[in-house]
């Protein structure tokens, strides 16, 4: 039996005292009301993970303005006072269970599948996301062609992140995570494929950080120094998970340093496998090559401060969670947590974990479909010692 003690040790993230190292990964569920307000089912849904002993929950990606940020139908927003108010019961329910809740702020950019505010889709440069829209979020066919976002729209997008972060703080959230991963707008600005601009927002790898840095700075100004702020980063996108950042470890380290220095308290790195080498193709014959270490290890080398590192990807057993903590401070769990809302409790009691089944998210990734799947398969989300 694996010794899981390390999973249940405390950790301090910025100002936050966390009772263990287990984090719920952000997962879009397209279950909000049409106007982006929280649906009451979502209160129970998030409460359940805190009751199941995840010490920190990251919400699904929330859109940040009433312009171009929305990506999905029935995606929750955090752009207005009404949306802010609708999150308060979720925050309260999670806190009542002793959990902490971070709002993930997201602008979909070229990966927009549905936006009730705008017909057009924008990206750093004119571009189209590869592959097909995600059917489990209600899309079908190729992604739309995104046009180049204008200077004033860039400022509007940055202001949206800042407003949304302020709304998060006022609503009682314990921090915000900027979604810089999986091919959404922040990631698009970093990417040489989506960002071919030759103005102040584009250029070489360092120049392409201008937008994420501006977002971090203006969010920091909006929420103050004592409010936990992080960024999620990945190499791959939702439709191209195996993409790799150009430039290997040196470029990655420079990127981490610039972002952290702009005012982050945590970095959340996600990929297919927490233990995978970051740049296997770039590795030379030297087995100790830095390219073969994980992205989390590489970011650790770039950190002069003691910011918190969260790692995520493919953790579906206590063994993998314990191993993930060799690379990072906290481990975030996605699909396996969906199958087991009480993942930490089950692991603590050494009871079995229900394997994730993609049918839980079919035909749509909604809470209602998850519930139908549970009833049909007699798999409770929170087993209360019965399994
Ligand atoms: C249904 C679903 C929705 C997701 N939505 C988001 C999201 O809103 N924001 C995000 O950063 N990642 C999102 N992800 C990615 C997960 O956070 C996580 O990175 C991924 O599932 C890999 O971790 P896992 O192997 O533990 O599942 C989603 C994943 C799933 C399965």
Burial of 153: CB neighbours in 10 Å, binned 0-12, 13-18, 19+: middle
Helix (H, G, I), strand (E, B) or coil at 27: coil
Whether 384 is covered by a domain: the verdict is no
Q: Give the distance from CA 118 to its chain's centroid.
A: 24
CB of 237 within 6 A of ligand 1: the answer is: no
Closest residue by Cα to atom 28, ligand 1, is 27
Whether 382 is covered by a domain: the verdict is no
CB of 268 within 6 A of ligand 1: the answer is: no
For residues 235 and 165, what is the distance between their CA atoms, to the nearest angstrom? 25
Measured from the CA of 314, which atom of ligand 1 is nearest? 25
To test the ligand 1 pocket, which listed residue (23, 24, 26) has its Cβ within 8 A of the most ligand atoms? 26
Whether 383 is covered by a domain: the verdict is no
Overall number of domains in the chain: 1
CB of 361 within 6 A of ligand 1: the answer is: yes
Between the CA of 341 and the centroid of ligand 1 the distance, in Å, is: 15
To test the ligand 1 pocket, which listed residue (334, 358, 373) has its Cβ within 8 A of the most ligand atoms? 334
- Say if strands 11-13 and 16-18 run parallel, antiparallel, or are unpaired: antiparallel
Taken in order 85, 90, 92, 93, the sign of the CA dihedral is positive
CB of 365 within 6 A of ligand 1: the answer is: yes
Whether 385 is covered by a domain: the verdict is no
Q: What was the pLDDT predicted at 386?
A: 64
CB of 313 within 6 A of ligand 1: the answer is: yes
Whether 264 is covered by a domain: the verdict is yes
Q: What was the pLDDT predicted at 385?
A: 61
Between the CA of 324 and the centroid of ligand 1 the distance, in Å, is: 17
Between the CA of 312 and the centroid of ligand 1 the distance, in Å, is: 9
45 is known as an active-site residue: no
To test the ligand 1 pocket, which listed residue (28, 176, 320, 323) has its Cβ within 8 A of the most ligand atoms? 28
Tens-place pLDDT, residues 68-109:
999 999 999 999 999 999 999 999 999 999 999 999 999 999
Q: What was the pLDDT predicted at 383?
A: 84
Q: What are the C-alpha distances in Å from 29 to residues 130, 137, 278, 341? A: 22, 8, 29, 14
Q: What was the pLDDT predicted at 305?
A: 65
Between the CA of 239 and the centroid of ligand 1 the distance, in Å, is: 13
Between the CA of 90 and the centroid of ligand 1 the distance, in Å, is: 20
CATH code of the domain containing 65: 3.20.20.70
Segments in the chain below pLDDT 50:
none
Token pair of 207 as six digits: 């120049």
Q: What was the pLDDT predicted at 300?
A: 81
Q: What was the pLDDT predicted at 23?
A: 98
CB of 230 within 6 A of ligand 1: the answer is: no
Give the residue numbers spanning the domain of 17.
5-377
Q: Give the distance from CA 297 to its chain's centroid.
A: 19
CB of 31 within 6 A of ligand 1: the answer is: no
Whether 387 is covered by a domain: the verdict is no
Whether 348 is covered by a domain: the verdict is yes
Closest residue by Cα to atom 6, ligand 1, is 27
Q: What was the pLDDT predicted at 59?
A: 99
Closest residue by Cα to residue 43 from 95, 119, 110: 95
Whether 98 is covered by a domain: the verdict is yes
Closest residue by Cα to atom 4, ligand 1, is 27
């Amino acid at each position: 039996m694996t010794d899981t003690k390390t999973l249940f040790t405390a950790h301090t993230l910025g100002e936050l005292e966390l009772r263990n190292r287990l984090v719920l990964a952000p997962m879009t569920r397209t279950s909000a009301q049409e106007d982006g307000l929280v649906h009451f089912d979502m209160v129970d849904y998030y409460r359940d993970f805190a009751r199941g002993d995840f010490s920190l929950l990251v919400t699904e990606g929330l859109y940040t303005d009433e312009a171009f940020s929305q990506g999905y139908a029935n995606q929750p927003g955090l752009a207005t006072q009404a949306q802010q108010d609708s999150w308060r019961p979720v925050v309260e329910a999670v806190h009542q269970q002793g959990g902490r809740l971070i709002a993930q702020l997201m602008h979909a950019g070229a990966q927009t599948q549905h936006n009730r505010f705008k017909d057009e889709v924008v990206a750093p440069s004119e571009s189209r996301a590869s592959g097909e829209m995600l059917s489990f979020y209600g899309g079908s066919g190729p992604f739309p062609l995104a046009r180049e976002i204008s200077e004033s729209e860039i400022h509007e997008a940055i202001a949206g992140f800042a407003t949304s972060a302020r709304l998060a703080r006022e609503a009682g959230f314990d921090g915000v995570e900027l979604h810089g991963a999986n091919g959404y707008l922040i990631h698009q600005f970093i990417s040489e494929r989506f960002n071919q601009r030759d103005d102040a927002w584009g250029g070489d790898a360092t120049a392409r950080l201008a937008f994420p840095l501006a977002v971090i700075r203006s969010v920091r100004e909006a929420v103050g120094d004592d409010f936990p702020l992080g960024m999620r980063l990945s190499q791959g996108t939702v439709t191209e998970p195996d993409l790799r950042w150009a430039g290997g470890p040196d470029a990655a380290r420079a990127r981490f340093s610039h972002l952290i220095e702009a005012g982050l308290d945590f970095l959340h790195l996600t990929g297919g496998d927490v233990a995978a080498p970051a740049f296997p193709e770039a590795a030379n014959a030297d087995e100790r090559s830095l390219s073969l270490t994980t992205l989390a290890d590489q970011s650790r080398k770039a950190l002069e401060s003691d910011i918190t590192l969260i790692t995520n990807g493919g953790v579906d057993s206590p063994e993998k969670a314990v191993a993930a903590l060799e690379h990072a401070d906290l481990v975030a769990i996605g699909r396996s947590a969906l199958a087991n809302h009480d993942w930490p409790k089950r692991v603590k009691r050494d009871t079995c974990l229900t394997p994730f089944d993609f049918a839980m998210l079919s035909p749509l990734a909604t809470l209602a479909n998850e519930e139908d799947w549970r009833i049909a398969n007699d798999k409770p989300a929170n087993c209360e010692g019965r399994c």
